[in-house]
Structure 1
């Protein structure tokens, strides 16, 4: 039997009403009663029940009138309706209007109790689903994944479906779209949430040290190895490892990573014995790995091992309806971070931010809002998000009023990144800059 419920019985015949109340009270439920729709509405307002059991015929009004009120004002309230023998059409109408169940008179005590228990279980399941959805929303907010756009809802749904598994995930998308946030969301929503989350940028590891960084090294394995070095995969044992910019991983380490994904074992550099690890692997890249495979820079077998569940993080230009929500989120987030009151943006500034292209995606938006929260300089924020100067055929045409060089340089960098979908090597080459100089300027303008 279901746990004790607060049940409102609505029946206009006093004898029948008392009988139903007695049966349900004997089963351990808490009862209240009403003889009309009007009395029932007053009772619901005075003390909200868990469930309403109502007869169809209730004087001037009907159980259907009460059902319509309940579903309009209290859509989560359970409702069972009793109809007379031969009036199955009434029952059908009631179910279509939102009734959770119906009984046809005359009915037995056991039939009534079964219907009550069935609806109680359904209500409990609905509450459970709402709580899970609420928890998921809280987790999204915790890791900064904010968005109502359809493309983001697809991302959330995919994260929800695979979070409880150990499936390997490959997250794609331009720089600044939130690939690491998605990885952290997967970790926090999984059974591994209390285990380690270890993030490593594969593009930032010198090739000569890549093996030791990932797989560890014994003391004396190479010059300078004065003690045992724990690799990132071993450090993530029992949790999740996030391999950012996986497309930058050298081919030799790609081979060793493939073996780990296939067998679940690693061998430290300089060691003879294999070690079994329990690690979920999430990888991310801004590159087109299929193209990298075709051009011989990435192993095809590793690509398919990583690409078990692909997730694409959409750029802001594909979810412009989320920009306002993100601005509000980052204003509150950074104000709380620094112990400030959340500032309010002027309407004209807000409109400019909503119209801005945000080539650096969510990361750029967060950085700009963080600086605004710290400095309170709205004019600087507006200057940074004005459209920059543009190149014209035959040379560069400068505006008569002069040029904001920092804003112009930033626009050039952002447009180069957008042109090559976040490929820094190609963007640097297109601008005629060395890779290191290009990276320095990306960091200077908060585009990384």
Structure 2
């Protein structure tokens, strides 16, 4: 625990510092010297009488912070009225000089314990508030009203759901909302990104593995299906799953049983499946990269999340939501959203969708500024293409555009994705398709 010790008497300050050797100490001799450290410590131990004021001035300054430290006031013998004033003003405890080492340790331990409990309660309250927010899909546009209606209709069923949408549109948020609104809400919600796990480990991650099933498997491993039993399993980026695992996934969905790698025993599972993708799975099926039978098994209830540029009316509400969220998370006051900035936000193309907007709002909370924002037309209409009368080889044209964009951005794929207003994974898919990865 980090403590600020404020004592204007040098000898007393040195003696107390020796007694408080178990704490990470910051020493100060005056109100002016102590104030810059108030927001960086967990506890303040301050004398009442200071050279440039008193401890009450320091206490009031501490209480003006969004996250105020615990405060213990030291008062001289015979000045109990000062201690009373300090407690009335919000001090956590006081010590009357002279005091013993044991009295000091007991008081600080009691205050420290209370401060930890207070912090834990705040974190719990925040976690519950954030969890409640998961059931609130922000937006009143026609597209979002339709989505909210469908979520409410299917949430309390066990139907398999396929959520489609560009990267950053909030597919996992929709999946969590489905879980929180269902009768499985008190059961596990397990999410796995199918594109983020190495192919060699994907089977054991999904279905589990017996001890010794592969090199390094020193103990039995529970797969995501078993971990999500009686709850919900969210398979994000399902389009990235290798074909060999698609067939095994299909069997699990059909039979409701999993077999761990290296085992022969089948284990029954009770799991609701929600899958998500930013790929066009119908096109993937036609290209032979995704099993048709698995597509129809997953696509029982389709949900499509619209890109942010198609629901611009929701941007003001989203901005207010994210500003309040990040201000609370970082213990800061939410900044005002000026009319000029809001106009820029409304006209931006939003290639990164809601995730990009959230990023900008967090930066606005932290730095009081925003990244440069280009209106919708800028960068999107600065060129013209004359189509040949005899037709166009689209695949060759797309490859040519990708090569040019990569060269223009020095081969940096993330910059190229932003330049082309594509999601990063959408760009990787196109690069792979044309052999440019």
1:133 aligned residue? none
CA–CA distance in structure 2, aligned partners of residues 262 and 203 of structure 1: 23
1:339 aligned residue? 331
1:311 aligned residue? 303
Q: How does 1:128-147 map to 2 (within 5 A)?
A: 141-143=133-135, 145-147=137-139
CA–CA distance in structure 1, aligned partners of residues 421 and 289 of structure 2: 21
**1:141 CA drift (Å):** 3.5
Query: TM-score under structure 2 normalisation?
Result: 0.60
CA–CA distance in structure 1, aligned partners of residues 241 and 413 of structure 2: 30
Deviation readout 1:73-102 (Å, 9 max, x if unpaired): xxxxxxxxxxxxxxxxxxxxxxxxxxxxxx
CA–CA distance in structure 1, aligned partners of residues 304 and 140 of structure 2: 16
1:159 aligned residue? 151
2:18 aligned residue? none
- The match for 2:249 among 214, 232, 257 is 257
Q: Counterpart of 2:245 in 1: which secondary structure?
A: helix
Deviation readout 1:186-244 (Å, 9 max, x if unpaired): 00000111111111000111111110010000000001101111111111011100000
Is 1:301 paired with 2:267?
A: no
Q: How does 1:408-419 map to 2 (within 5 A)?
A: 412-418=416-422
2:238–2:276: 8 Å Cα contact kept in structure 1? yes
Q: 1:386 to 1:327 in 2, by over 3 A?
A: farther
Q: Counterpart of 1:204 in 2: which secondary structure?
A: coil
2:160–2:299: 8 Å Cα contact kept in structure 1? yes
Q: 1:263 to 1:196 in 2, by over 3 A?
A: same
Larger deviation, residues 381-390 vs 272-281: 381-390
- The match for 2:319 among 324, 327, 330 is 327
Structure 2: tracts of 5 or more residues without a match: 1-129, 386-400, 402-408
Q: Counterpart of 1:364 in 2: which secondary structure?
A: helix
CA–CA distance in structure 2, aligned partners of residues 247 and 409 of structure 1: 20
CA–CA distance in structure 1, aligned partners of residues 144 and 352 of structure 2: 17
**1:145 CA drift (Å):** 1.9
Q: 1:235 to 1:166 in 2, by over 3 A?
A: same
1:204 aligned residue? 196
Q: 1:222 to 1:432 in 2, by over 3 A?
A: closer
CA–CA distance in structure 2, aligned partners of residues 428 and 268 of structure 1: 35
1:425 aligned residue? 428
CA–CA distance in structure 1, aligned partners of residues 259 and 434 of structure 2: 42
CA–CA distance in structure 2, aligned partners of residues 385 and 368 of structure 1: 16
Structure 1: tracts of 5 or more residues without a match: 1-137, 397-404, 435-448
Q: Counterpart of 1:174 in 2: which secondary structure?
A: coil
Question: What is the number of equivalent residue pairs in this alignment?
Answer: 288
**1:351 CA drift (Å):** 1.1
Q: 1:376 to 1:310 in 2, by over 3 A?
A: same
2:235–2:275: 8 Å Cα contact kept in structure 1? yes
- The match for 2:366 among 350, 374, 377 is 374
CA–CA distance in structure 2, aligned partners of residues 359 and 433 of structure 1: 22
Is 1:227 paired with 2:219?
A: yes
Q: 1:238 to 1:253 in 2, by over 3 A?
A: same
- The match for 1:176 among 152, 168, 180 is 168
Q: 1:410 to 1:262 in 2, by over 3 A?
A: closer
Q: Counterpart of 2:275 in 1: which secondary structure?
A: strand
CA–CA distance in structure 2, aligned partners of residues 422 and 269 of structure 1: 29
Q: Point out the structure with max Rg over C-alpha.
A: 1
1:213 aligned residue? 205
Q: 1:207 to 1:426 in 2, by over 3 A?
A: closer
Q: Counterpart of 2:303 in 1: which secondary structure?
A: strand
2:14 aligned residue? none
1:285 aligned residue? 277
CA–CA distance in structure 1, aligned partners of residues 221 and 310 of structure 2: 43
Q: Counterpart of 2:195 in 1: which secondary structure?
A: helix
Q: Counterpart of 2:134 in 1: which secondary structure?
A: helix
2:347–2:376: 8 Å Cα contact kept in structure 1? no
Q: 1:430 to 1:347 in 2, by over 3 A?
A: farther
**1:428 CA drift (Å):** 3.9
1:352 aligned residue? 344
Q: 1:432 to 1:328 in 2, by over 3 A?
A: farther
Q: 1:416 to 1:385 in 2, by over 3 A?
A: closer
When the two chains are superposed, the root-mean-square deviation of aligned CA atoms in Å is 3.3
1:43 aligned residue? none
